[in-house]
Amino acid sequence: MSFTLNQFEVLTLIERKQDDKLTQRDIAKKCNLSLGKTNKVLAELQEMEVLKVLDDAKYSVTLKGYELLEPYRVKKAIFMAAGFGSRMVPVTLNTPKPLIKVHGKKLIETLLDAVLDAGITDITVVRGYLGEQFDLLLKKYPMIKFVENPIYNEANNISSAYVVRDMLCNAYVLESDLLLYNKDLIRKYEYTSNYLGMYVDRTDDWCFETRKDYITKVKVGGENVHHMFGISYWTKEDGEKMEQDIEKVFKSPGGKERYWDEVPLRECIKNYKVWVRPVNKGDIIEIDTYNELKQIDSIYNV
């Protein structure tokens, strides 16, 4: 027995929130479904005996439900943290960008805490620039393993993907310089390979063109697109393909200048079907420049 995407999204939402009251309207909103579709999916899940309806707008996942969810469990999280962060000078002259504090907390910690809250303890950080400073994280996060990227200053971030290309099955890949506010974006289970994206009328930044919520093109700037956020998940099947495709692109002419995301979303896009998982405004923030940092945290206005 397997789930449809809608069944999976509703069931995993309930699994995360089963201590809370969840009306059908709440579920519909959080899963981007109509009320009619939500009612149908809830009925299907009960018929499958993976969901029990309790009193007072509460639900619980059955033992059978947990057994069927287990193949979708996220096994690991890989953090890309090797780069210099040139647009964040002067603060990155002595500190890697992921270790910069915003409102007293390191950027990477907002992501690490969410990963651990989702029960993911197999955590790898790919480091390069001032890499020894990441050892400071071990006091709070002793489970972290480090992988060195020896050519971070000679190549784009595809070089970080290259050194962990055999580790991408059932894995989140996270850019380490994001400020995460909504921890629910990092989940215990994932249905299919996906990237986080927020629908926008227009952007000058990296974005996705989509068809039926699946990525058809990645580009810089566009209208009626999904703004791209650097958090993705890769299934076992896609992780195995990625190992081969990253090596092929990395070793091709000009390959070292690629961003790693271009491998599955441009160079080898025919090999993958990648879903856009929706993000709402305020869930996550990219801090690209020193001026943006100053606007978010006034401590840097000196």
Which residues are paired to 277 by β-bridges?
A: 196
| Cα–Cα distance for residue pair 222/10, rounded to 1 Å | 31
pLDDT of residue 244: 97
pLDDT of residue 1: 67
Alpha carbon of residue 299 to chain centroid: 28
DSSP assignment letter at 4:
-
Buried b / exposed e over 253-283, threshold 16 CB at 10 Å, is eebbebebbbbbbebbbeebebbbbbbeeeb
pLDDT of residue 186: 98
Per-residue pLDDT of the chain (302 residues; tens, 9 = 90+): 689 999 999 999 999 998 888 999 999 999 989 999 999 999 999 999 999 988 777 899 999 999 999 999 999 999 999 998 888 889 889 999 999 999 999 999 999 999 999 999 999 999 999 999 999 999 999 999 999 999 999 999 999 999 999 999 999 999 999 999 999 999 999 999 999 999 999 999 999 999 999 999 999 999 999 999 999 999 999 999 999 999 999 999 999 999 999 999 999 999 999 999 999 999 999 988 999 999 999 898 87
Amino acid found at 205: D
pLDDT of residue 77: 98
| Cα–Cα distance for residue pair 273/41, rounded to 1 Å | 24
Phi, psi dihedrals of residue 66, rounded to the nearest 5°: -65, -35
